[in-house]
Amino acid sequence: MKDESSRGEWSSKIGFVLAAAGSAIGLGSIWRFPYIAGQSGGAAFVAVYLVLVFSIGISLMMAEIVIGKKGKLNAVGSFGKLGGRRWSLVGWGGVVAAFVILSYYGVIGGWTIAYIFKSFFGLMEVTGAGEVARVFEDFISSGTQMVFFQCLFMGATVFVVFRGVSGGIERLCTFCMPALFVLMLLLIGRSVTLPGAMEGVAFFLKPDFSKVTGEVFLSALGQAFFSLSLGIGAMIIYGSYLPEDSDIPKSSLQICLLTFLISLMAGLIIFPSLFAFGMEPGAGAGLTFITLPVVFSRMPGGVLWSALFFVLFFFAALTSSVSLLEVAVSYLIDSLGWARRRATIFLGCLITLVGIPSALSQGAVRINVFGLSFLDAADFFASNLIMPIVGFLISVFLGWVVPSVAEEGITNEGARPFRGKKVWLFILRFVAPICILVIFVAGLKW
Ligand code: PHE
């Protein structure tokens, strides 16, 4: 890695895939996916999510990476360079979404840190599902704890982004992802062998298509964008650090597969145990944090398993939050000429402040927006509104406005032919914009 204040480049191909997968896999797969699936009808939602990830999701991922690789700047700069000033507004939409998401992402990220400590101090002694839920309720209604752990998490994020692209982000991902994977496999083993677990497996994997509504589609679309880190320009930035000879379609497929796999695994840990303990799948944002401790407490050496899991979960969240912060930071660096350190600290502090209402909205203070808690409202605004809109514009941009950039970018100027190019362009031109529009109109409660 060169001078920290300048743009970086990935030191290896696998480094890029791991970092992009690190951005994708985080709270989205392990916290958000199970609870949204639980609220949206289980397996039917999972089926819609699967289809969206491997059609629109993967196509938009390739699109973002291509824009970054060709633009060689952050989202605002890349759009401006390739499409003129008006299009740089799309990049702006992304920066706003990243800002909003990180403001509450820091709050949930803080929960992972708190649960590392709680594993050692009493969490494993409360074995009943009801008691674990009460521990969680007490925790989230304590404003001081919420803000304290939020600040810790944001501090860690700032620290990593501070150290630059391949120094901090890349090294972190190489180690944590494989460890998390193995531990989750183990947890699935524990969860599905609990008495009564099969009912949960069925809820999660046996779709009842009568449950599919416009709202389920919109939630699945929002989840696809959120979990794949799309629609805010994160992949544009990661793509801008990509060396010339990269295989974008292959990397994108790997990232989507990994993200889907981890989401599936999270569901296979959470739903079987949920049903085994007679808990509610629609319990909302606390689902992962209420269910998992119950599972750990049924394992020999539960304290250690629990602590280890939340450590890895924390790192998974961290590799995502750094990419969120990077979206905003790189804008200040590239477009306004700020030094990395100054940009990182300034934005880190600002976003933490903006996140405080979300932190308090979980029980300490009632802050409701349109009947949702502040945190849920921020999440809905960013994931179900801005991300799909930016995604729509990205596909229109590459598919219709600068198709030559798409063709050159995906084939490395013709050096690496891509057999699926026609299908990809067709999706960008027609399928993605039309589907996003239809889902949008059908899913919003007017
Ligand atoms: N994909 C991340 C997660 O699932 C969140 C994220 C969204 C990160 C958008 C970057 C950009 O946790």
Q: How far away, in angstroms, is 296 Cα from ligand 1 center?
A: 26
What is the band of 437 on the pLDDT scale with cuts at 50, 70, 90? very high
Whether 305 is in a domain gets the answer yes
How many other C-beta atoms lie within 10 A of the C-beta of residue 371?
A: 7
Q: Are 203 and 275 in contact (CB under 8 A)?
A: yes
For ligand 1, atom 2, the nearest C-alpha belongs to: 24
Domain contains 7: no
Nearest of 202, 206, 191, 200 to residue 269 by alpha carbon: 191
CA of 26 to the centre of ligand 1 (A): 7
Q: Quick: pLDDT tens for 93-111.
A: 999 999 999 999 999 999 9
In the structure, what pLDDT confidence band is assigned to residue 14 with cuts at 50, 70 and 90? confident
Residue 102 CA to ligand 1 centre (angstroms): 9
- Tell me, what's the ipTM? 0.98
Report CA(383)–ligand 1 centroid distance (Å).
10
Helix, strand counts (H, E) of the chain:
22, 2
| 2 in any annotated domain | no
Residue 115 CA to its chain's centroid (Å): 20
Q: Pick the atom of ligand 1 nearest to 316's CA.
A: 12
Give the model's confidence band at 1: pLDDT under 50 very low, under 70 low, under 90 confident, else very high. very low
Does the beta carbon of 229 sit less than 6 angstroms from any atom of ligand 1?
yes
Q: What is the pLDDT of residue 169?
A: 61
b/e per residue, 171-200, with b = 16+ CB within 10 A? Answer: bbbeebbeebeebbeebbebbbebeebeeb
**What's the average model confidence in pLDDT over 230-245?**
89
| Ligand 1 neighbourhood includes 252 CB (under 6 angstroms) | no
**pLDDT tens track for 209-219:** 998 999 999 99
Q: Is the CB of 383 under 6 A from ligand 1?
A: no
Inside any domain, residue 1: no
Number of structural domains the chain divides into: 1
In a domain, 6, yes or no: no
CATH number at residue 34: 1.10.4160.10
What is the distance in A from the centroid of ligand 1 to the CA of 146?
A: 21
Q: In the structure encoding, which two tokens stand for residue 149, read together? A: 């752990």
Q: DSSP string spanning 7-37?
A: ----SSHHHHHHHHHHHHSSHIIIIIHHHHH
Atom of ligand 1 nearest to the CA of 234: 11
- How far is the C-alpha of 304 from the C-alpha of 316, rounded, in Å? 18
Distance 49 CA to ligand 1 centre (A): 16
Does the beta carbon of 23 sit less than 6 angstroms from any atom of ligand 1?
yes
Please give the distance, rounded to the nearest whole angstrom, from the Cα atom of residue 263 to the centre of ligand 1.
13
Residue pair 327/94 in contact (Cβ under 8 Å)? The answer is yes
Percent of the chain with pLDDT over 90: 66
Atom from ligand 1 closest to the CA of residue 317 = 12
Residue 368: strand, helix, or coil: strand
In a domain, 3, yes or no: no
> What pLDDT score does 8 carry?
61
- Residue 419: exposure state from Cβ atoms within 10 A (0-12, 13-18, ≥19): exposed
Query: Which residue's alpha carbon is at the smallest distance from atom 11 of ligand 1?
Result: 229
CB 233 near ligand 1, within 6 Å: no
- What is the per-residue pLDDT for 238? 87
Q: Is the pTM of this model over 0.90?
A: yes
Closest-lying ligand 1 atom to the alpha carbon of residue 320: 8
> Is residue 397 within 8 Å of 87, Cβ to Cβ?
yes
Is residue 232 within 6 Å of ligand 1 at its C-beta?
yes
pLDDT digits (tens, 9 = 90+) for 385-406: 999 999 999 999 999 999 999 9
Neighbours of 46 (CB within 10 A): 25
Q: Which atom of ligand 1 is nearest to the CA of 230?
A: 9
Domain that holds residue 270: 13-444
Ligand 1 contacts CB of residue 28 (under 6 A): yes
Q: For residue 387, which atom of ligand 1 is closest to its CA? A: 9
pLDDT at residue 369 above 90? no
**320 C-alpha to center of ligand 1: Å?**
5
Does 2 score more than 50 pLDDT? no
Report the Cα–Cα distance between both ends of the chain, in Å, rounded: 50
Share of the chain above pLDDT 70, in %: 94
Say what angle helices 248-276 and 43-52 make with each other, to 10 degrees. Answer: 170
Instruction: Please state, rounded to an integer, the average pLDDT across all residues of the chain.
Output: 90
Cβ(386) to ligand 1 under 6 A?
A: no
CA of 23 to the centre of ligand 1 (A): 6
The ligand 1 atom nearest the CA atom of 97? 9
User: Ramachandran region of residue 253, left (φ > 0), alpha (ψ -120 to 50) or beta?
Assistant: alpha
Ligand 1 centroid to Cα of residue 225, in Å, is 8
Region 175-190: mean pLDDT is: 89
